[in-house]
Amino acid sequence: MQEYKSKQVRIERPAAMVYGVLSDFTTFTPFMRDKVEGWEATTDRCSFRAKGMTMSLHMVERDPHRLVKITSEEGSPLDFTLWIQMQEVAPDDTRMRLVLHVKLNMMMRMMIGGKLEEGIDQVAEQIAAMFNMRA
């Protein structure tokens, strides 16, 4: 498995709030319905179609306010695990990093490895921007 790490991002919210949102797939529903087809979610599992591929994901581990691990389920086009790591350094200062472990053959690594490196940073930045928006 190859490992891709995002840069650490700063979220101006308590770790408990960040964890509460990121540890429950149902909280993603308002954002995902317009981005993918066939979005279905429970607290622990979700499935959707994007670019002709069906993905099924499962939250396999939660460590309150510190870690969420998400893995692809059998039948998904990619075999991966995503770790969402959080550390609260002050009451409204949570640092987050994404770590993607993905199984790619040599050809796929050459084709999409660079895009995964860029993409994981972009996803981390988008998550931070979503939390950091002031109402």
Q: What is the pLDDT of residues 76-109, one digit of tens each?
A: 888 999 999 999 999 999 999 999 999 988 888 8
CB-based contact 124:85 (threshold 8 Å):
no
pLDDT at 12: 96
pLDDT at 135: 45
Q: C-alpha distances in angstroms, 58 versus 82, 93, 110, 122?
A: 10, 28, 27, 22
pLDDT at 18: 97
Q: Which two tokens stand for residue 33?
A: 């319905």
